[in-house]
Structure 1
Amino acid sequence: MAKSRTNHPDWSIFVPVLPEKGPRPQALYAEIRRLIEEGRLPPGSKLPTTRDLAARFSLARGAAVVAYEMLVADGFAEARVGAGTYVARVVPTVGGLVVRERKRPPEPQGPLPGALGCSTADETTIRTFRTLLNRHLTQPSARHYHYGQPAGGEDLRIEIAAYLRSARGVRCEADQVIVTSGTQQALDLVIRSLLSPGDAVWIEDPCYPMARAAFSAAGMRLAAVPVDGEGLDVAAGERLSPDARAVYVTPSHQFPLGVTLTMSRRMALIDWARRNEAFVIEDDYDSEFRFSGPPLTSLQGIDGDGRVIYIGTFSKTLMPGFRIGYLVVPRALVGRVLEVRQLTDRFPSTLFESALAEFLRDGHFASHVKRARRRVRAARDALVEVISGAGVSVGVPDQGLHLVAEVPPEGSDVEHVTRAAEVGFGLRALSTMYHGDETRQGLVIGFSGFPADVLASAAGRWAASLARR
């Protein structure tokens, strides 16, 4: 008897085109599925044997077997005992949609030199973290296999509390620390735990835009309190909104103006909070980067009445990609904040927590900050030299990761931002960060996250573009 054909009679015109690289089973599966979805392999038609496929495409037979198993599992094919594999009788059709190989997307383009929110890369730190993470992956703790504590692991909270006591004068113990995924989550937790829609809140004017957005989205009544050379004007805040329930402040290095809240203003702010039973939300986002003089004491450290809630982050010192920050709250408020935390984000990453706890405990963090501070200072000095040489007035900050420059002639700060981007220099318009009626023109420029020569080169292109106008 003549041997029956196992191939579809018109299979030759449906030959899949496999990519040169990549896993063979997945590539074969994707191409046959494409032919089925386009209707070029009709429902119920017989597919070639795995042996024929393997020979035709110079594949291991196992790769063809796996591809067919995937088609069957996804409902695109049917395996009939003793008869072979057939296109399923009912399959989705997508009218010409091509099922293509999944490719890795290109690396996203990074921010322009001068942009805000960039941390400084450090090879020593990356190497150390790689060692720590590998250790916890090769010898994983049992804590990684069950749900953790909403406050975060005790080992990391102990190290954070110890660091804040010595470096920032924060008065706290581990049970007051709540690990977060950054400043924004910390703010959200505070707002939803302690405030209600319609409550009045003071914000600095100008203010960190994402903080302002968080309060606005929660329905707070915002009072834009002006900032002068001494920081937040407490007396003005009392005139604008005496019944405020909270104030958001960046006292060590005001964002974006860069001024420091004076001691007299600090005491006035804490006194106001005590008298009105209000909360002071202290965002201490970049205090590690002080270039002259001793670190400034936190507001929380001089508060004796439990009115200050302290927010910090490792995004500026290490990298935003770690997504680790922290809250320090008075003990009376810990339970309320944790109730909200576990409803939305049950616990932080235990793997990163364990590695970071060791990083802090073994002194790596202190060494990293010293190296990062040197690099950031060099970048600041290079940036100031270029900008000043172009005739643009700029202040040299003693702390932080950004500076404010005056706006050159011929254009607003918003227009200069657009022009600078055209030559590869990242700026932010100061005027857009105001919330009240009065605004000021200025250019906010970051000097972290880029080598000094790269930052100076970008600033030089911008300076040259100014000279051509």
Structure 2
Amino acid sequence: MLDIPFSLDFQRKSDTPLYRQFYEAIRLAILRRQFAPGLRLPATREMAHEFNVSRNTIVLAFDQLIAEGYLEARQGSGTFVTAKIPDDFINIENDRNPRSLKSESEIALSKRGKTIVEAKSKWLMSAGVPLPLTPCVPSVPYFPFEIWAKLVAKRLKKPIPGLLNYGEIAGYGPLREAIAAYLGATRGVRCQPEQVIVVSGTQQAADLTARILLDVGDVVWTEDPGYQGTRAAFIAAGAKVAPIPVDAEGINVEAGRRKAPEAKLISVTPSHQYPLGVTMTLKRRFALLEWASKSRAWILEDDYDSEFRYESRPLAALQGLDNNNRVIYAASFSKVLSPALRIGYLVVPGDMIESFTAAKALLDRHSPVFEQTVLADFFTENHFSRHLRRMRNVYAKRRQALIAAINSEMSDLAEIAPSSAGLHLTVWLDERTNDAEICRLAKEKGISCEPLSALSIKRKMRPALILGFAPFSEKEISLAVNQIAKILRNR
């Protein structure tokens, strides 16, 4: 028997190699002071015999422990436990447990860090397969897997020089060219490829915009009610958010002028406002552009799902009406292809290209290159336009299924807000209804909707539910609406 306080039962069917099991056991014995500093360990042959393993298993473990400084090999004397481990690292019970068990209040975060944590806590996105009626998520099963796989294979078979090296900060050139051409033809955006900055979704677009244009304490107009993710990015940057009411024409510019005339940035979703679904009128667009120009304020246009209109052609972007270079246009491929791609883009004024590119470089150097090359091929081979047409048809049918289910199951309890675009519908409820409570009860039934009250800051609005339809079958939609109708009737 070995003359050391140590025993080990090897898990020979484990996925963890035997040498790694032995390494972990010796390392923990040292950290827990089971092996005292300076202890001489038995020879590798002796230990291999004791534990019925190959000598090479013990040698590999010893080599790793020596390399990391837990053991010392002395020529002609043997292998010893090091005496150099600081006391702070001794008596670790189990290094597989989470390293930090402290509460948030005990962690010395900076003021900015605390602000970021607080902002995130108010904006949490669910991961994984969405529950029925989850708003603003695409139908991933309709992703063009076969086409995408062929494009990937072609790229890997004949890779371009530098494919796996660092890429262009602003994005892969052919993709930027394809985006610029697409935006000009379908969205009325006026830009050159050089103005397109590829980012990791509209969340990063908002973050970059805040970093470049806002100082701590600057005021930002945000829509009320409005998207929490963009709002969180501005709060995390130290900006003061001024919630501006949205009416049937879009953000109320006159109300914004009265409430926060000193605003440096206006964040809007003019093509399809989230969550109310209204489209900003031409009159209101011109009023916003005029005020921004006179006040030297910037406009961040989030064009998040404008591709999906069901009763008319997609409306031209606000950026295309801007003659004074005050609009920064943001969009992504999260809704039209997949949020997992994490590819979006900004279109910035010509004199802001260098500034935004510098900020992007500091943030993450550049977005993943390989995915950009495949997406560029997806554009140039005309797969993108065909995919859009296909998805408009799919979503139009599912949208109609949701409308039919609401009218059939709860027309006496709810009213659908007018909207001809997007991946969600807003459904007004009785004034006395607690929309947050309805969503909580729906979640217990495996249904995920969003209460309008959670998206409002100052404005007190009639209660409503935000219901999505894009990734769900007609049967799933019908069953989910039936459950919500039962909840409303039994409240």
TM-score range, shorter chain: 0.7 to 0.9
How far off is 1:110 after superposition?
4.5
Between the aligned partners of 1:135 and 1:48, the Cα distance in structure 2 is 56
The equivalent position to 2:27 in structure 1, one of 27, 33, 42, is 33
Post-superposition offset of 1:348: 1.8
Separation (CA, whole Å) in 1 of partners of 2:41 and 2:154: 48
Whole-Å separation in 1 of the counterparts to 2:249 and 2:83? 77
Query: In the alignment, is residue 213 of structure 1 matched against residue 232 of structure 2?
Result: yes
The RMSD of aligned alpha carbons is 3.1
| CA distance in 2: counterparts of 1:142 and 1:149, whole angstroms | 13
1:309 matches 2:331: no
Residue identity opposite 1:427 in structure 2: C
Residue 255 of structure 1, CA deviation = 0.8
SS in 2 for 1:112: coil
Per-residue CA distance 1:276-318 (angstroms, 9 max, x = gap): 4433221100011222221111111222332222111111222
Report the Cα distance in structure 2 between the residues aligned to 1:456 and 1:415, rounded to whole angstroms.
21
- Contact 2:223 2:243 (C-alpha < 8 Å) held by counterparts: yes
Provide the residue aligned with 2:283 in structure 1. Answer: 264
- Partner Cα distance (1:332, 1:199) in 2: 22
Between the aligned partners of 1:437 and 1:346, the Cα distance in structure 2 is: 40
Letter in 1 for 2:72: E
Matched, 1:71 2:61: no
Shift of 1:179: 0.9
Q: How does 1:114-153 map to 2 (within 5 A)?
A: 114-122=133-141, 125-136=144-155, 140-144=159-163, 146-153=165-172
Unpaired stretches in structure 1, ≥5 consecutive residues: 1-6
The answer for the alignment partner of 1:428 in structure 2 is 450
Once the two structures are TM-superposed, the CA of residue 259 in structure 1 deviates from its matched residue by: 0.6
Q: Which amino acid aligns with 1:227?
A: V
Equivalent position SS for 1:282:
strand
Please say if residues 378 and 384 of structure 2, whose CA atoms lie closer than 8 Å, have aligned partners that are also in contact: yes
Is 2:301–2:330's contact at 8 Å kept on the other side of the alignment?
Answer: yes
2: CA distance between counterparts of 1:222 and 1:78? 59
Are the equivalent residues in 2 in contact too, given 1:30–1:99 (CA < 8 A)? Answer: no
Q: Distance in 1 between matches of 2:324 and 2:42?
A: 79
Question: Is 1:365 aligned to 2:365, yes or no?
Answer: no
CA deviation map 1:127-186 (0-9, x unaligned): 443444455456554434544332222122111111111221211110111111111221
Q: Are residues 1:343 and 2:362 paired?
A: yes
- What SS does the aligned partner of 1:98 have? coil
The alignment partner of 2:246 has SS state of strand
- AA in 1 matched with 2:423: L
2:480 counterpart residue number: 458
Larger mean CA deviation between 307-316 and 73-82 belongs to 73-82
Instruction: Name which of structure 1's ranges 286-295 and 147-156 shifts more when overlaid on structure 2.
Output: 147-156
Q: 1:84, 1:150 → 2: CA distance? A: 53
Q: Is the 8 A contact 1:119 1:319 kept in 2?
A: yes
Aligned mates of 2:46, 2:184 — CA distance in 1: 71
Counterpart residue number, 2:438: 416
Q: Which residue of 1 aligns with 2:345?
A: 326
Percent identity over the alignment is: 39
Determine helix, strand or coil for the equivalent of 1:185: helix
Asked if the contact 1:423/1:462 (under 8 Å) is kept, the reply is no
Deviation readout 1:39-60 (Å, 9 max, x if unpaired): 3344444545555655666655
Tell which deviates more after alignment, 284-293 or 244-253. Answer: 244-253
> 1 CA distance for matches of 2:93 and 2:153?
42
Cα 1:376/1:58, change in 2 over 3 Å: farther
Query: In the alignment, is the contact (CA less than 8 A) between 1:77 and 1:87 conserved in 2?
Result: yes
- Corresponding residue SS for 1:326: strand
Q: How does 1:51-450 map to 2 (within 5 A)?
A: 51=45, 61-81=55-75, 84-91=78-85, 94-95=90-91, 97-98=93-94, 110-122=129-141, 125-136=144-155, 140-144=159-163, 146-391=165-410, 392-395=414-417, 397-407=419-429, 411-450=433-472
Shift in Å, 1:441: 1.9
Any idea what the Cα deviations from partners look like across 1:343-362, whole Å, max 9, x if unmatched? 33322222222222122222
Contact 1:196–1:220 (Cα < 8 Å) also in 2: yes
Q: Which amino acid aligns with 2:222?
A: I
Q: Report deviation, 1:117.
A: 4.2
Q: Report the secondary structure of 1:393's partner residue.
A: strand
Q: 1:423 to 1:86 in 2, by over 3 A?
A: same
Question: CA contact under 8 A between 2:429 and 2:462: conserved in structure 1?
Answer: no
In structure 2, what is the equivalent of residue 20 of structure 1? 13
Report SS of the residue matched to 2:222: strand
Q: CA deviation at 1:17?
A: 3.6
Q: Any idea what the Cα deviations from partners look like across 1:83-103, whole Å, max 9, x if unmatched?
A: 55444445576436235699x
Question: For 1:435, what is the secondary structure of its paired residue?
Answer: coil
Partner of 2:111: none
Q: In 2, Cα distance between the equivalents of 1:398 and 1:330?
A: 30
TM-aligned CA distance change 1:179 to 1:381, over 3 Å: same
Cα deviation digits, residues 360-385 of structure 1 (max 9, x gap): 22222223323333333333333333
The C-alpha deviation readout for 1:185-205, integer Å capped at 9, x for no partner, is 212222332344444433222
Q: 1:95 to 1:387 in 2, by over 3 A?
A: farther
Deviates more, 1:34-43 or 1:54-63: 54-63
Aligned pair count? 458
The equivalent of 2:108 in structure 1 is none
Q: What stretches of structure 1 move > 6 A for 4+ residues in a row? A: none
Q: Would the aligned equivalents of 1:16 and 1:32 in 2 still touch at CA under 8 Å?
A: no
Q: 2:450 & 2:10 partners in 1: Cα distance?
A: 49
Quote how far apart the aligned CAs of 1:322 are.
Answer: 1.8
Give the match's secondary structure for 1:337: helix
Whole-Å separation in 2 of the counterparts to 1:109 and 1:411:
30
Aligned amino acid, residue 291 of structure 1: Y
Q: Return closer, same or farther for 1:308/1:320 CA change in 2, 3 Å cut-off.
A: same
